Structure 1
Amino acid sequence: MDLDMMRAQKILLTSLFLAVWALISPVSAASFEDPKFSLELRDANGTKTLGEAFTKGPAILHFWATWCPNCRVELPAMERFEDELKAQGLDGQFVVVALEDVPYGRIQSFLQDRLGLERFTSYQAVDMQAMGTAFQVAAMPYTIFLDENGGVLGGIPGSLEWDAPQIQETFIGHLQGKGTIASGN
């Protein structure tokens, strides 16, 4: 099987998963007022709470780690996705968090020096165990969809094709407050 066929199958399966998941996934009663959103994040400018990292509306929360091979593969496409979100005025609704117990400078160096990601924004969980437990992160990478109040709509374990048009259309639709993920049906 060639790489294009494998990629097409992965995109199709991810799209199918999203459609089915949106139909059956219950909306959590959590909100941005929930204690888990008071967990701290670190970046080059210092610390802030997870709730402060989000600026408005529905959101996507993504967890990754430098030791995760699938994370390393998908990060360049995520940088392009983040650029597209900024171009559409949707920045602040896509928050990426490294779950690693290392100095933040090491994460930043990994992104810039090893992967060449100069524009990519990633926070680090100050308490990675508490953050992972609060959001029930069972795999790396892990992507979580939040409604406009911070309620967890559901999550997708594993890497995604962030450049795939179907994925971008679905995810951007969610961030704009339309589409199956945002409505939960």
Structure 2
Amino acid sequence: MALVAAALVAGGAYLAYDRLVTQPALERAALLGFGVDRTDVPAPALELEALDGSRFSLAQARGQVVFLNFWATWCPPCREEMPSMLRLGRELEAKYPGRFRMVAVSVDEGWDPVKEFFAAPPYFGKPGLAVTLDPGHAVTKAYYCAARGGSCPDLKFPESYIVDKDGRLVAYVVGPRDWNDPTARQLLESLIGS
């Protein structure tokens, strides 16, 4: 009987260790492998005109996890990652209505190339999420510098930023990614569920 009790205690201790130490370490390793950089600073203010004529404001999205992707139509890696990013955004917005927003922030100089980009296959004029424009790059630079603790090296695209429900910039990703990777979904869903 004592042997069974000892085995149960040891098994419980292992499960607790696995849940508290091993799993978070694996999650951190997966995030590093995916190229996620962590930060924890207030997200810069953001209010931009959207493709549909409305305005997107980060302040109005308080209480939601917001994924911001800074991109351009003239940027091949940006165009390459767009389909998987839009798919992930549509899926999470449908699964978590009112709790998640994905916003593509174009740094193009005007709407014409953006409209032309989304008029072509596979989008046919309907990106399925908020598309905004930052032609002067003021918002882009604010996020770029905030994520790096005030350091503002040359801008590179694409870059993606994750703002938590409290309006804090908590993570960013430099360069293109395959947003179908389970690591991306895991990170976003953990923030949505927190």
Q: Which amino acid aligns with 2:69?
A: H
Q: State how 1:30-49 maps to structure 2 within 5 Å.
A: 30=42, 36-49=44-57
TM-score of the superposition, structure 2-length normalised?
A: 0.66
Compared with structure 1, are the counterparts of its residues 39 and 76 closer, same or farther at alpha carbon in structure 2 (3 Å cutoff)?
same
Is there any run of 5+ residues in structure 2 with no aligned partner, and where? 1-28, 146-154
Say which of 83, 87, 98 aligns to 2:94.
87
Say which of 61, 68, 71 aligns to 2:78.
71
Q: Per-residue displacement from partner, 1:86-135 (whole Å, max 9, x unpaired)?
A: 221246422221111112x4312312315435343242234532111211
Is there any run of 5+ residues in structure 1 with no aligned partner, and where? 1-13, 178-185
Count of equivalent residues = 157
Flag the structure with larger Rg.
2
Secondary structure of 1:148's counterpart equals coil
Secondary structure of 2:137's counterpart equals helix
Q: Which residue of 1 aligns with 2:144?
A: 136
Aligned mates of 2:56, 2:66 — CA distance in 1: 17
Say which of 60, 63, 68 aligns to 1:61.
68
Q: Which residue of 2 aligns with 1:27?
A: 40
Q: Which amino acid aligns with 2:32?
A: F
Aligned mates of 1:175, 1:18 — CA distance in 2: 21
Secondary structure of 2:50's counterpart equals strand
TM-score of the superposition, structure 1-length normalised?
A: 0.69
Q: Which amino acid aligns with 1:173?
A: S
Secondary structure of 1:27's counterpart equals strand
Q: Cα RMSD over matched residues?
A: 3.1
Q: Which residue of 2 aligns with 1:149?
A: 166
Q: Per-residue displacement from partner, 1:8-36 (whole Å, max 9, x unpaired)?
A: xxxxxx934178967xx4411x25xxxx4
Is 1:158–2:175 an aligned residue pair? yes
Q: Which amino acid aligns with 1:17?
A: L
Q: Which residue of 2 aligns with 1:3?
A: none
Q: Which residue of 2 aligns with 1:15?
A: 30
Q: Which residue of 2 aligns with 1:110?
A: 117
Q: Which amino acid aligns with 1:144?
A: Y
Compared with structure 1, are the counterparts of its residues 109 and 122 closer, same or farther at alpha carbon in structure 2 (3 Å cutoff)?
farther
Aligned mates of 2:35, 2:176 — CA distance in 1: 18
Q: Which amino acid aligns with 1:141?
A: P
Compared with structure 1, are the counterparts of its residues 58 and 68 closer, same or farther at alpha carbon in structure 2 (3 Å cutoff)?
same
Aligned mates of 1:161, 1:171 — CA distance in 2: 14
Q: Per-residue displacement from partner, 1:53-109 (whole Å, max 9, x unpaired)?
A: x26333221111101111111111112112211221246422221111112x43123
Compared with structure 1, are the counterparts of its residues 19 and 79 closer, same or farther at alpha carbon in structure 2 (3 Å cutoff)?
closer
Kept in 1: contact 2:66–2:163 (CA 8 A) = yes
